[in-house]
Amino acid sequence: MDEILASTDLGNGRSVHVATLSRETVIDSEAQHLGFEGYFVFEASDGAGEKGISVLGKTVSFEAAMRFIELFKLH
């Protein structure tokens, strides 16, 4: 994670983040089809046997990332 814009704890060692990711992290997460630049929405897990991240999606711009964060905070 390079630049984290927002995070929220889901409990049980899990959290959701909106952040930039390194090229290596995107590849390791098998999300290279999304490209390497921009802001990703992903779940991180620190639970036993589940360590790592799962990329859930990507925003199209910084402004879209900020809007996603606003919407996420409403719920």
Please report, for the chain, the start and end positions of each structural domain, with discontinuous segments joined by +.
4-74
How far is 34 from 58, CA to CA, in rounded Å?
A: 7
**pLDDT tens for each residue of 21-63:** 999 999 999 999 999 999 999 999 987 677 789 999 999 999 9
Query: What's residue 75's pLDDT?
Result: 63
Query: What's residue 73's pLDDT?
Result: 80
| 8 Å CB contact between 14 and 20 | no
pLDDT at 74 over 80: no
Query: What's residue 21's pLDDT?
Result: 95
How confident is residue 1, by pLDDT bands cut at 50, 70 and 90?
A: low
Q: How far is CA 69 from CA 4, 34, 42, 43, 75, in A?
A: 11, 19, 13, 14, 10
Amino acid at 21: L
